[in-house]
A and B are shown apart, each in its own frame.
Chain A
Amino acid sequence: MAVAAEQKTDKLYGQAPKETTQFQQIVRRFLRNKAAVVGLIVLLLMYLVAIFAPYLASESLDAMNIPARFTPPSLEHPFGTDNLGRDVLSRMIWGSRVSLSVGFVAMTMAVAIGSLVGAVAGFYGGTWIDILLMRLAEAISIIPVFFLLITVVSVIRPSIFNIMLVIGVTSWPGLAQIVRSQFLSLRQRDFTEASRAMGASDARLIFRHILPNAAGPIIVSATLRIGSAILTESSLSFLGLGTQPPLTSWGQMLSQGRPFLLQAPWVSIFPGLAIFIVVICFNFVGDGLRDALDPKMKR
């Protein structure tokens, strides 16, 4: 009724002021942040490179050429060659597929678990289920993450899938705590009370009414988390507990280049630089999203 009345007044008084949806405002605020925009563009390019790796890599993943080993960067090999004469740039392009997808999948898993646990704990805040879930989250987060990761990975054997799984399963507690605190305040708002009064079930309240309102912090934290998942994968691979040959990732390339650091520093420098750039871009985008989604939080 109210909407219809408003439309009528618009007609009566002629041109309504130009309306912007909330989404448009968010996009506008995001676009104003230069670092975030540059970060987003660089990331899109990186993901395009990963997707079109077969067309972009000049050599296959394992094209060995022993006589050409340790060639410094040149026109033919822009990033040089490694100890087996493999082209570093080509391997980095192939490796980007692992590095970039691990971050994405692990983050998705962590967000799914963290949101669910945080939502349930926050919605039933103060009850035994809240206490139980939060204690579990706390217990996982007090074990320094690397000790937990290397132990689990060594037990279930390193493989890309296991790495994604383990990073996802161990990195949800922080997110659960964020979602929980959102739920604790949102569940007392009028709109929640109103839907409850209309007979909405708990599941409907959680997923249809409250969760969408907590989306902002979840999206921001998810973006930052992709970066940290990529860092974690590269660290695990560097320790030899991550991506296993014949596949490669940037962290693994660094690990392989380590014995030849003084002889051929380029084998280590460029993959590390790629990790650095991707993670910093995710952090830029995450920060930009935070400011765009919640201008009040702008520091």
Chain B
Amino acid sequence: MARYLTKRILNMIPLLFIVTLLSFGIMQLAPGGPEYVILSAEADAMSDPQQVEALREKWGLNDPVHIQYFRWVGNMLQGDFGKSYYYRLPVKEVLASALPNTIRLNFFALVLIYAISIPLGVISAVRQYSKTDMIVTATAFAGQAAPSFWVASLLIWGVAMNSGGLIPTNGISTPGITFETYGWLSVLADRAKYMFLPLIVIVFGGLTGLTRYMRSSMLEVLREDYVRTARAKGLAEKVVIYKHALRNAVLPILAVSGGLLSSLVGGSVIIENVFSWPGIGRVAWQAVNNRDYNVSMAVMLLSAVLTMIGYLLVDIAYVWVDPRIKYD
């Protein structure tokens, strides 16, 4: 296990290297070169060629590209992601304040997705071609095809029209409701209230792939010999399904969790935008609109690292759950 872990972590290094090359390369694509992206933040200097030259010198843009690249990577390795022009703060601080919000939202979404999709998939596999199965499958198709921003718009329209302000449609908390003034219960209720709509949209979108996957995995397992054996020796159907079949059918679900995680984080760009949720997706979008390039690159790298860690955790969980898998 330790050797496998070391190998996996060592494997991440070339991947990270390629990701840094990609992010850096994208910046080189900017028309007129990266200097216009960086220098446009100091707009007044743009018209004066002498000042532009001075700035180029100051930012090290006259150095060869590979030196610029290594300087950028070197700074990051020391924890220096540069400065955000839009927020006028170090990039690190901008990300540090946004990241917990994204993680919180997606953590609850992930838990809900698993809690709903696994039983749903099992039921629809056990009662294949029944009415329940049809409804589950149809819902799964719908969730896969419905654009998240459209679902969000419909929800906002419906809820805002009918809930009388009970369920907020944007933001993360009511200003003023804090632990000191109201106690933890009302704080909890307040935060949950704000999370309600974004969670519905994320869960509806994320649920579908997993449910379909769970269904087909369960169908496959139900055809296995050991399930027939379990039935033949007279075990109750419940025991057969939940003890013998489910355990094996859940395993492949773990394998796709990495991809789910990545798509959740990616989808946060839209969700956080629609619901004004101050997370990493919103920061990324604002950075892009304001050509806040240091932030954009840092977000890309960070999200890639997070995804990689997610995949790693999934792999570890896989080995841990399924003793048949042995790595050296």
Contact = CB atoms under 8 A, between A and B. Distances in A.
B285 interface: yes
B216 A239 contact: no
Interface of B: 14-15, 18-19, 22-23, 26-27, 29-31, 37, 141-142, 144-150, 153-154, 156-157, 160-161, 215-216, 219, 262-263, 265-267, 269-270, 273, 281, 284-285, 288-289, 291, 296-297, 299-300, 303-304, 307-308, 311
A154 interface: yes
A254 B160 CA distance: 18
A118 interface: no
Interface stretch (A3-11, A104-112, A132-140): A132-140
Contacts of B308: 142
15 contacts: A135-B14, A143-B22, A143-B300, A144-B303, A146-B266, A147-B266, A150-B269, A150-B288, A151-B297, A155-B27, A155-B30, A251-B149, A268-B157, A299-B215, A299-B216
Given A155-B26, A235-B147, A143 B288 contact: no
B149 A147 contact: no
A31 B266 CA distance: 37
Nearest to A231: B147
A123 interface: no
A154 B289 contact: yes
B262 A235 contact: no
A148 interface: yes
B147 A139 contact: no
A242 B149 CA distance: 14
Interface string A151-170: 11111110000000000000
Nearest to A144: B266
Contacts of B300: 143, 147-148, 151
Nearest to A137: B18
A241 B270 contact: no
Interface string A30-65: 000000000000000000000000000000000000
Most buried by A among B216, B288, B299, B307: B288
A154 B270 contact: no
A116 interface: no
A148 B265 CA distance: 12
